[in-house]
Amino acid sequence: MAPKTLNGRTADHEVADQFLTRWSPRAFTGEPISDATLMQLFEAARWAPSAFNLQPWRFVYARRDSEHWERLYSILIEYNRMWVSTASALAFVISDRFRRKEGEAPVPSYSHSFDAGAAWGFLALQAHHMGLAAHGMTGFDPDLAYADLGVPESDYRIEAAIAIGRPTTPQVLPEMFRAREVPSSRHPVSGFVFEGRFGD
Ligand SMILES: Cc1cc2nc3c(=O)[nH]c(=O)nc-3n(C[C@H](O)[C@H](O)[C@H](O)COP(=O)(O)O)c2cc1C
């Protein structure tokens, strides 16, 4: 079978379309987004797998037209603020560092970040399925984030921020972002998958 090309991306192997068509745009319409729509995204995150089914992910979000927006938006570095101003909502993904059982001392979790990453991935695919896009970011000030989101750093890790919105024309973006508004490619599968032993 001929390799599939979608969204300017060519798969090495046959794969569901959504993995090629999902991407991380920066140009959004900025239109209001409802809590109901956002809850659909968090519902997708809810069904991610996690070690011991601990579900260590947490999310703090703000809609662009809410009183919380400015506080969350100002946690981002300037570079991200320049384009996130076109998004409809902003969320932070947080993970619980511990496995907690009633009556027992908390035990450090091996996979809290990995599990929260799976939840974010599910959220991003759900957004794409709904004609929206979710764009992950680690470009934020961690000290500000812990303080302004009220996250106790000893127990929880702020993993990433997510801009959410409906994609639109690059023309809404500052000039410097317009040429970059194209889906990126990937390393070949053969470069990161090994049979039997790492690196072989
Ligand atoms: C954890 C994480 C952090 C990222 N940080 C930023 C960021 O701070 N600013 C930004 O513009 N894009 C950021 N990105 C977007 C990536 O650059 C993008 O996902 C990557 O280039 C692959 O492109 P695609 O998502 O369009 O397939 C981030 C993505 C992830 C998953």
Alpha helices by DSSP H, 2-136: 18-21, 35-46, 69-73, 78-84, 112-129
The one-letter code for the residue type at 37 is: T
First to last CA, the chain: 27
**22-45: per-residue pLDDT in tens?**
999 999 999 999 999 999 999 999
Q: Indicate the domain borders of the chain.
A: 22-179
Which percentage of the chain shows pLDDT scores above 70? 100
**Cβ of 136 below 6 Å from ligand 1:** yes
Main-chain dihedrals φ then ψ at residue 23, nearest 5 degrees: -155, -175
- 16-47 core/surface letters (b: 16 or more CB in 10 A; e: else): eeeebebbbbbbbbbeebeeebbebbbebbee
**Cβ of 113 below 6 Å from ligand 1:** no
**Cβ of 21 below 6 Å from ligand 1:** no
Q: 26 alpha carbon to ligand 1 midpoint, in Å?
A: 10
What's the CATH class of domain 22-179? Answer: alpha beta
Q: 136 alpha carbon to ligand 1 midpoint, in Å?
A: 5
Q: What is the pTM of this model?
A: 0.97
If you average pLDDT over every residue of the chain, what do you get? Answer: 97
Chain centre distance of CA 71:
19
Q: 51 alpha carbon to ligand 1 midpoint, in Å?
A: 25
Which phi-psi region, left, alpha or beta, contains residue 28 (left: φ > 0; alpha: ψ -120 to 50)? beta
**138-178: per-residue pLDDT in tens?**
999 999 999 999 999 999 999 999 999 999 999 999 999 99
For position 200, what pLDDT does the model report? 77
Residue 159 alpha carbon, nearest atom of ligand 1: 1
Atom 11 of ligand 1, nearest CA residue? 80
Atom 27 of ligand 1, nearest CA residue? 23
Residue 66, burial from CB neighbour count under 10 angstroms (0-12, 13-18, 19+): middle
Q: 145 alpha carbon to ligand 1 midpoint, in Å?
A: 18
Q: 80 alpha carbon to ligand 1 midpoint, in Å?
A: 11
Residue 83 alpha carbon, nearest atom of ligand 1: 11
